[in-house]
Amino acid sequence: MATPSLTLKFSCNLFSGYSTVMQLQPAHTVDDIVKFAVFRLKEQLTQLKLELLVEQLKKRSYHIHSDLATIRSQSGESVVYICSHDG
């Protein structure tokens, strides 16, 4: 059986539209999913030498409004939105 993948998409005023894909493992938590998405965005911003955006990313807190059961049931079929209500 293939490992389910999740499309993670940021939904905030600064990084709205950025998306990445994650392979969902049984041990992953909602917090793991958020950390992965933030890490990938930070990695890309750093590669592009966008230091001011990296600093803005560090100042914000991100979350997902869905619970893990909902995310698992929809894996591969829909987008999981990573939200921030900061700034």
Spell out the alpha helix ranges (H) of 1-84: 30-47, 51-59, 68-74
pTM above 0.85, yes or no: yes
Judge whether 54 and 45 are in contact, CB under 8 Å. yes
Mean pLDDT in consecutive groups of 10 residues from the start of the chain, 87 residues: 83 95 90 96 98 96 93 81 85
Q: What is the DSSP letter of 19?
A: E
| pLDDT given at position 5 | 87
Judge whether 75 and 56 are in contact, CB under 8 Å. no
| pLDDT given at position 87 | 58
| pLDDT given at position 77 | 72
| pLDDT given at position 2 | 66
Q: Please give the single-letter amino acid code of residue 7.
A: T
Q: What is the DSSP letter of 66?
A: S
